[in-house]
Amino acid sequence: MRLRQIADPLVRGRPTAGEYDRPQNRGGGLGPRVFARAPVWCMAMADRLVVTGVTGHLGARVARRAAAAGWSVVGTCFRAASSTAVPSERLDIRDRATVHELLRRVRPDVVVHTAAGRDDWRVMADGAAHVAVATVALGIRLVHVSSDAVFSGRDIDYDESALPDPIYPYGAAKAAAETAVAAIDPAAAIVRTSLIVGDGGGQHEILTRDLIAGRVQGALFTDLIRKPVHVDDLSDALLELAATDHRGVLNVAGADPISRYDLGVLVAQREGLDPVRIPAATIADSGTRMAADVRLSTRRAVSLLRTRLRGVHDFIGGPHAPHR
Ligand SMILES: NC(=O)c1ccc[n+]([C@@H]2O[C@H](COP(=O)([O-])OP(=O)(O)OC[C@H]3O[C@@H](n4cnc5c(N)ncnc54)[C@H](OP(=O)(O)O)[C@@H]3O)[C@@H](O)[C@H]2O)c1
CATH number of the domain that 82 lies in? 3.40.50.720
pLDDT of res. 218: 95
265 and 179 housed in the same domain:
no
15 and 162 housed in the same domain:
yes
Give 181's Cβ-side CA count (13 Å radius).
Answer: 30
Q: Which ligand 1 atom lies nearest to the CA of residue 77?
A: 40
31 Cα: distance to centroid of ligand 1 (angstroms): 34
Identify whether 4 is part of a domain.
Answer: no
Identify whether 276 is part of a domain.
Answer: yes
Q: Render the burial of 274-289: b for 16+ CB within 10 Å, e for the rest.
A: eeeebebbebeeeeee
Q: What's the CA gap between 298 and 56, in Å, rounded? A: 24
Mutate to test the pocket of ligand 1, among 50, 64, 79, 227 (most ligand atoms within 8 A of CB): 79
240 and 288 housed in the same domain:
no
pLDDT of res. 208: 97
pLDDT tens-place values along the chain, 324 residues long: 223 332 222 222 333 333 323 322 322 222 222 222 333 444 444 599 999 999 999 999 999 999 999 999 999 999 988 787 889 999 999 999 999 999 999 999 999 999 999 889 999 999 999 999 999 999 999 999 999 999 999 999 999 999 999 999 999 999 999 999 999 999 999 999 999 998 899 999 999 999 999 999 999 999 999 999 999 999 999 999 999 999 999 999 999 999 999 999 999 999 999 999 999 999 988 988 999 999 999 999 999 999 999 999 999 965 444 443
pLDDT of res. 199: 83
Q: Is the CB of 115 under 6 A from ligand 1?
A: yes
What residues are paired with 157 via a beta bridge?
A: 295
Identify whether 191 is part of a domain.
Answer: yes
Q: Is the CB of 56 under 6 A from ligand 1?
A: yes
95 and 117 housed in the same domain:
yes
pLDDT of res. 282: 97
162 Cα: distance to centroid of ligand 1 (angstroms): 24
Domain membership of residue 157 as a residue range: 10-197+231-252
22 Cα: distance to centroid of ligand 1 (angstroms): 31
196 Cα: distance to centroid of ligand 1 (angstroms): 11
Nearest CA to ligand 1 atom 7: 147
158 and 305 housed in the same domain:
no
Q: Which ligand 1 atom lies nearest to the CA of residue 204?
A: 3
Q: Is the CB of 247 under 6 A from ligand 1?
A: no
Identify whether 31 is part of a domain.
Answer: yes
pLDDT of res. 25: 33
288 and 189 housed in the same domain:
no
Identify whether 320 is part of a domain.
Answer: no
User: Which stretches does DSSP call E strand in the chain?
Assistant: 10-13, 33-36, 48-52, 72-77, 88-90, 110-113, 141-147, 157-158, 189-193, 196-197, 220-221, 225-226, 229-230, 248-252, 258-259, 280-281, 295-296
Nearest CA to ligand 1 atom 8: 147
Q: What's the CA gap between 178 and 125, in Å, rounded? A: 8
DSSP H or E stretch at residue 138: helix 127-138
Q: What's the CA gap between 68 and 56, in Å, rounded? A: 18
32 and 109 housed in the same domain:
yes
pLDDT of res. 184: 98
Q: Is the CB of 304 under 6 A from ligand 1?
A: no
94 and 54 housed in the same domain:
yes
Neighbours of 86 (CB within 10 A): 19
267 and 174 housed in the same domain:
no
pLDDT of res. 46: 54
150 and 214 housed in the same domain:
no
129 and 213 housed in the same domain:
no
Identify whether 303 is part of a domain.
Answer: yes
> Own/partner pairs for 66-72, CB < 8 Å, 24+ apart?
66/112, 66/235, 66/239, 69/44, 69/45, 69/239, 70/44, 70/45, 70/46, 71/44, 71/45, 71/47, 71/239, 72/46, 72/47, 72/48
Q: Is the CB of 57 under 6 A from ligand 1?
A: yes
Identify whether 2 is part of a domain.
Answer: no
DSSP 4-42: -----SEEEES--TTSTTSGGG-SS----EEEE---HHH
Mutate to test the pocket of ligand 1, among 62, 131, 196, 232 (most ligand atoms within 8 A of CB): 196
Count of domains for the chain: 2
Identify whether 114 is part of a domain.
Answer: yes
175 and 48 housed in the same domain:
yes
243 Cα: distance to centroid of ligand 1 (angstroms): 22
Q: What's the CA gap between 216 and 197, in Å, rounded? A: 19
244 Cα: distance to centroid of ligand 1 (angstroms): 24
